[in-house]
């Protein structure tokens, strides 16, 4: 008869972004559709050829590395030094020049302009205020050459119902298994802040770990996002998609829309 030995779980309250290796196991698993969508948008919406690509808030570089390996010249920035280090190690391991730098996506300047940029999974909502959001869009407009595009993906707040998401995923890399849970803890509509709880349960042959975090995400209804865009007229809205990332299925955004990728073109 075998006995099941249960090991104690270390519980760490901290920033999940400070543990890029576990973040990456969950989020890097599913990259193919997003990657194909990026390439489709580059050819469908950018004027001229796309060679040089920026990802603001690139995190672990889960997508940036795929774009680089497809032959594009890439750069990324992120506020978190651990994520940037993880990303650059990933590039070096594959014989590529490190592509990421520590920088604030609302306060950066590039030496050379890019043909396209992308920011697909809500990082934009980490910007805590309207001023920071406008500053970010101005940085992006300055970073893009004329006719270049910025693909910006975020969850909008639908007018019809309160946000009440609870998402769980499990992914495995080698001997490490990570289970994630993401849920809305509270919503302050007046301050436009959704507080999101996140846990990662990590199992390795040597240990069990639970990372517990919560982070504020700024909220945007479709109307609030359109008002924001009007502040930066150098970025023209040319198309919208949902998180199915299907170039053949553009969508009409209205007050009920939730997951939207905005295609913004530098005029
Ligand atoms: C949800 S992760 C997304 C990472 C990556 N874009 C991806 O698709 O996996 C959000 C990232 O935004 C970064 N971030 C938050 N605020 C930022 C800021 N003001 N400037 C740059 N990066 C920021 C975090 O450090 C984190 O790596």
Of 18, 67, 78, 119, the residue with max ligand 1 atoms within 8 A of its CB, to mutate for a pocket test, comes to 78
Residue nearest to atom 15 of ligand 1 (CA): 126
Of 60, 79, 140, 180, the residue with max ligand 1 atoms within 8 A of its CB, to mutate for a pocket test, comes to 79
| E strand intervals along the chain | 9-13, 52-56, 73-78, 100-102, 114-119, 144-155, 166-173, 176-188, 193-203, 208-218, 235-241, 259-266
pLDDT band at 1 (very low <50, low <70, confident <90, very high): very low
pLDDT band at 245 (very low <50, low <70, confident <90, very high): very high
Q: Is the pTM of this model over 0.85?
A: yes
Q: Give percent of the chain with pLDDT exceeding 70.
A: 96
Tell me if residue 229 falls in helix, strand or coil: helix
Residue 166: predicted pLDDT: 87
Residue 161: predicted pLDDT: 63
For residue 5, pLDDT beyond 70: no
Q: Are 172 and 154 spatial neighbours (Cβ–Cβ below 8 Å)?
A: no
For residue 4, pLDDT beyond 50: no
Average pLDDT of span 3-11:
72
Residue nearest to atom 25 of ligand 1 (CA): 80
Average pLDDT of span 76-85:
98
Residue 29: predicted pLDDT: 81
Residue 107: predicted pLDDT: 98
**87: which residues sit within 8 A by CB, 6+ positions away?**
20, 58, 59, 60, 61, 64, 65, 76, 78, 98, 99, 100
Residue 3: predicted pLDDT: 42
* Domains of the chain (ranges, CATH numbers): 9-16+159-218 (2.20.25), 20-156+219-266 (3.40.50.150)
Residue nearest to atom 27 of ligand 1 (CA): 59
Residue 30: predicted pLDDT: 81
Q: Are 23 and 17 spatial neighbours (Cβ–Cβ below 8 Å)?
A: yes
Q: Is residue 63 lining ligand 1, measured as CB closer than 6 Å? A: yes
Return the ligand 1 atom nearest residue 28 CA: 9
Q: Is residue 105 lining ligand 1, measured as CB closer than 6 Å? A: yes
pLDDT tens per residue, range 142-168: 999 999 999 999 999 998 765 557 899
pLDDT band at 8 (very low <50, low <70, confident <90, very high): confident
How far is residue 159's CA from residue 154's CA, in Å, rounded to a whole number?
15
Which secondary-structure segment (H or E) carries 131?
helix 130-143
Residue nearest to atom 8 of ligand 1 (CA): 121
How far is residue 91's CA from residue 69's CA, in Å, rounded to a whole number?
9
pLDDT tens per residue, range 45-66: 999 999 999 999 999 999 999 9
Q: Which residues pair with 153 in a beta bridge?
A: 261
pLDDT tens per residue, range 101-146: 999 999 999 999 999 999 999 999 999 999 999 999 999 999 999 9
pLDDT tens per residue, range 204-235: 999 999 999 999 999 999 999 999 999 999 99
- The Å distance, Cα 203 to ligand 1 centre, comes to 25
Residue nearest to atom 6 of ligand 1 (CA): 58
């Amino acid at each position: 008869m075998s006995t099941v030995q249960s090991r104690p779980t270390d519980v760490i309250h901290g920033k999940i972004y400070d543990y890029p290796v576990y973040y990456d196991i969950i989020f890097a698993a599913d990259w193919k559709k997003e990657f194909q969508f990026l390439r489709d948008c580059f050819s469908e919406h950018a004027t001229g050829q796309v060679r040089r690509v920026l990802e603001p808030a690139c995190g672990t570089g889960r997508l940036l590395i795929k774009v680089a390996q497809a032959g594009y010249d890439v750069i990324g920035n992120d506020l978190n030094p651990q994520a940037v280090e993880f990303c650059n190690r990933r590039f070096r391991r594959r014989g590529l020049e490190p592509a990421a730098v520590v920088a604030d996506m609302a306060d950066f300047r590039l030496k050379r302009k890019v043909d396209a940029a992308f920011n697909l999974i809500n990082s934009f909502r980490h910007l805590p205020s309207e001023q920071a959001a406008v500053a970010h869009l101005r940085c992006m407009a300055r970073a893009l050459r004329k006719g270049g595009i910025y693909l910006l993906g975020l969850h909008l707040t639908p007018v019809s119902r309160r946000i009440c998401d609870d998402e769980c995923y499990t992914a495995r890399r080698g001997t490490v298994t990570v289970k994630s849970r993401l849920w809305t803890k509270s919503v302050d509509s007046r301050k436009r802040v959704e507080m999101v709880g996140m846990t990662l349960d990590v199992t390795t042959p040597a240990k069990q770990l639970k990372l517990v975090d919560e982070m504020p995400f700024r909220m945007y209804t479709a109307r609030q996002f359109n008002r924001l865009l009007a502040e930066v007229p150098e970025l023209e809205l040319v198309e919208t998609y949902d998180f199915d990332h299907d170039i053949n299925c553009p969508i009409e955004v209205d007050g009920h829309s939730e997951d939207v990728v905005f295609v913004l073109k530098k005029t």
